[in-house]
Amino acid sequence: MKKIALFALLLWPMVAWAQPADYEWSSQSKNSSESMPLGGGDVGLNVWVENDDLLFYICRSGSYDEHNTLLKAGRVRLEIEGGVADAPFRQVLRLGKSAMEVHLQGAVITLWVDAFVPVIHAEVVSPKAVSCRVSYESWRYEDRPFRKQEGLQGSHKWHKPAGLTTTADRIVEDEHGVTFYHHNPALTVFDRTVEVEGLEAVKDQLWNPLKHRISGGRLWSRDLRYEGQRDGQYLSTSFRAWTFRSLKPMRRQGFMIALANDQNEDITAWQEQLQKRITYAETNKTARAATERWWADFWQRSWIEGAGEAAEATRNYTLFRYMWGCNSRGSDPTKFNGGLFTFDPEFVVADRPFTPDFRNWGGGTMTAQNQRLVYWPMLRAGDFDLMPVEFNFYERMRPNAEVRTRHYWGHEGASFTEQIELFGLPNYMEYGTKRPAWFDKGVEYNAWLEHCWDTVLEFCQMILETYRYDRADIERYKPLIESSLRFFDEHYQYLARRRGRNALDSEGKLILYPGSGCETYKMAYNASSTIAGLRTVLESYLEVKTMQGDTVQAPWRAMLERIPEIPHRVVDGREMIAPAVAWERINNTESPQLYPVFPWRIYTMASGRDLSVARNTYLYDAHALKVREPKGWKQDNIWAASLGLTEEAVMLLHGKLSNGPHRFPAFWGPGFDWTPDHNWGGSGAIGLQEMLMQTDGQKIVLFPAWPAEWDVKFKLHAPHQTTVECELQGGKIRKLEVLPKERAKDVKILLPTK
């Protein structure tokens, strides 16, 4: 017995946080807004039970139509006949292995999504033989003309060209299943974008990911036989259902759905890809075990679990992290405006009675200022394998961004705008369709977006951080980093030469004008957010080059010398960070003067710098105070935590990670965007992590903004392949494990005394 007890004690550190707790409902839902997310690989399902029918929406990364709408693959409905009508109901999301169990009419319905291949599995097990009716439901069974404001789901936004229509899917049934797909025509919104932006002369050089794109799949089962079609209405949207019924009452039965995307005028290759996935699903006996192992590893990488006042926020952090884990293998990033888990839009905004494909701010359009907040928290969580989805997105766009730079201005570098399409050009409506002939053709004619070039720098920094954290292979992204930096260097010298004789100022520095402090401080001269970004990325790139033994550093050291200092100002006797040296107007509600705190982490509790200037900016800058709130993409919670302002961080944390307005508590929003608001969750996650741990170089600072009375245990990642596992209980640290062990000397604990 003593040996067993000793073994259990030695094992405890490895199993102290085996996996997250299940999330469960004991009553059915009223509608799709009360759905529960389930997913894996690059597939997301919204699952709910309504009037004894189990329903789920299917969404897969990369399924864009001709208007750049991120399409759902359809809706599935499962009805049980002959079950126990008064049996207890349960809907359980087993987070640890990403499976859902629904106890309905005495049967147990198990749903899971393969983590490696886009296949959905559904199994019904009942103590008595039952029959199932399974329906594939589609609202794209016919062409659908766009209604007013419906263009916001794609790239047409508020413009509604005559005859604008979502073309119908091709849906074909057979005895045991139904195959469905959307096949984009040759002409898409890409062509409209090229036309509006005056790029026809270089069109043949531009990558077009929408032309002839195919997305769809197949639902099938040998346990089912085709019954027929029926038309119906769910909420504000008509649909057609292809219905199948069990061959006979059975105790065990099921069905599968395989998905495939391709880009080809001929659908043959898509059909072959789909058939391979069907064969895999039918023959692979280890797929579920492999999926469960992937999720077990995912949950062992990191966790945050709090008690008392911290319990709700940390539980919702876990639920949000689960949703970002559902797009680990996507062709495109997890969208800030709903990810893979949007539902019928009338439950988000009442005057949007559109199809389930709708989301505000587009499907393939990336509002990069928002998108970045989904990916920053993955570093501390150790989810490095999820981040290349975002990096690949930018690297694919890079050639198009370089073509537009050369075409408009004749110099080098990738110009990434805000409201960028998945093909690397600005959204044509944000670019402006009613532009003066004299206006710079490379700049968006848009009061919010003009001269907004910065956000790509954050993704460059994320790439560099994956090397510092995990020694990730980043060679393929170096052209992206260098081209993004080169744009700033060449573009602002180009603009200076058009104004006068010299390309640099009297101190040999770049003149970053006209610029923009986010979307807020417009026509800015040397915006602090731009300067902080350029300085940080250049310093990080040089550091990584040194770590890799790369001696080709002179051009980047020379550019670093050309970056001006972050501007300061004195207001009411207090020195603080200035938004810019000068600006013409304030246009939005962001606080870019705090970007040197986050995302650039120049001023943090771990940095060792005097924080008085940054704290003055947070506490006394009139504009920053005026726009402060926890809603949506707001980052005040992150800044408060980074600066060690515990009371502020706590107050804003509750606003960020308390339960959202829908039944599933991590479905926040719409905020400024849509529901589920993933940049709301992302900014909340970053702030929570910053309250617990901050790093700078070799330094690791624990509890820089954490209330001593809040019990918590966590495992987070730090640079240099380091993990920190800690448990705080009753104001005392009960456990601290740093791996590798030699990194323990770099840890500093700032926990306040009671």
Cβ neighbors of 108 (< 8 A, separation 6 or more) are: 101, 102, 124, 125, 126
Which residues 6+ apart lie within 8 Å of 79 measured at CB? 52, 53, 54, 132, 133, 134, 135
Has residue 4 been placed in a domain?
no
Instruction: Report the 10 Å Cβ neighbour count for 404.
Output: 24
Q: Are residues 600 and 713 in the same domain?
A: yes
Task: Say if 189 falls within a structural domain.
Answer: yes
Task: Please return the burial class of 619, using the count of CB atoms within 10 Å of its CB with bins 0-12, 13-18 and 19+.
Answer: middle
Share of the chain above pLDDT 70, in %: 97
Q: For residues 117 and 55, state if they share a domain.
A: yes
H or E, element range at 567: none
Could you report the per-residue pLDDT of 260-271, keeping only the tens digit for each?
Answer: 999 999 999 999
Q: Could you report the per-residue pLDDT of 436-449, keeping only the tens digit for each?
A: 999 999 999 999 99
Q: For 283-297, write each residue's pLDDT tens digit.
A: 999 999 999 999 999
Last residue of a domain, one of 301, 330, 345: 301
| N residues, the chain | 754
Question: Which of 284, 370, 354, 221 is CA-nearest to residue 668?
Answer: 370
Average confidence (pLDDT) over 389-410: 98
In this structure, the answer to whether residues 262 and 341 fall within a common structural domain is no
Q: How confident is the model at residue 3 (pLDDT cuts 50, 70, 90)?
A: very low
Judgement on whether residues 266 and 399 belong to the same structural domain of the protein: no
Would 17 be classed as within a structural domain?
no
Percent helix, strand, coil in the chain, to 5, is: 35, 25, 40
Residue 403 and residue 498 in one domain: yes
**Last residue of a domain, which of 301, 329, 344?**
301
* Residue 421 to residue 365: CA distance in whole angstroms: 4
Distance between CA 225 and CA 203 in Å, rounded? 49
* 154 is a domain residue: yes
Locus of tokens 């002839």: 212
Q: Per-residue pLDDT for 9 more than 80?
A: no
Instruction: State the pLDDT confidence band at 161, using cuts at 50, 70 and 90.
Output: confident
End-of-domain residue from the set 259, 275, 301: 301
Q: Do residues 278 and 324 share a domain?
A: no
Mean pLDDT of 400-424: 97
- Are 150 and 222 contained in the same domain? yes
Distance CA 93, CA 23 (A): 5
- Residue 14: inside a domain, yes or no? no
Give the global pTM.
Answer: 0.96
Distance CA 619, CA 552 (A): 42
Q: CB 740: neighbour CB atoms within 10 A?
A: 10
Name the band, by pLDDT with cuts 50, 70 and 90, for residue 14: very low
Give me the domain span that covers residue 729. Answer: 315-749
Q: Rounded to whole angstroms, how far apart are CA atoms 715 and 728?
A: 12
Asked if 386 and 327 count as a contact pair (C-beta separation under 8 A), the reply is yes
pLDDT tens per residue, range 627-663: 999 999 999 999 999 999 999 999 999 999 999 999 9
558 and 445 in one domain?
A: yes
Tell me: cis bond preceding 740? Omega within 30 of 0 counts: yes
Domain assignment of residue 265, yes or no: yes
Within this chain, do residues 495 and 603 fall inside the same structural domain, yes or no?
yes
Pair 626, 715 in one domain: yes
Report how far apart the first and last C-alpha atoms of the chain are (Å, whole number).
41
Pairing of the two strands 90-94 and 23-25: antiparallel
361-383 pLDDT, tens digit per residue, is: 999 999 999 999 999 999 999 99
Domain containing residue 40: CATH number: 2.70.98.50
Extract the tokens encoding 726.
């800690």
Beta bridge partners of 577: 568
User: Would you say residue 163 lies in a domain?
Assistant: yes
| CA nearest neighbour of 455 among 400, 510, 384, 375 | 375
Residue 35 shares a structural domain with residue 141: yes
Of the pLDDT bands very low, low, confident and very high (cuts 50, 70, 90), residue 4 is very low
Q: What is the pLDDT of residues 194-242, one digit of tens each?
A: 999 999 999 999 999 999 999 999 999 999 999 999 999 999 999 999 9
User: What CATH number should be reported for the domain holding residue 661?
Assistant: 1.50.10
Give me the number of domains the chain comprises.
2
> Do the bridges between strand 699-702 and strand 747-749 make them parallel or antiparallel, or are there none, so unpaired?
parallel
**Pair 561, 465 in one domain:** yes
Residue 688 lies in a domain: yes
pLDDT at 18: 67
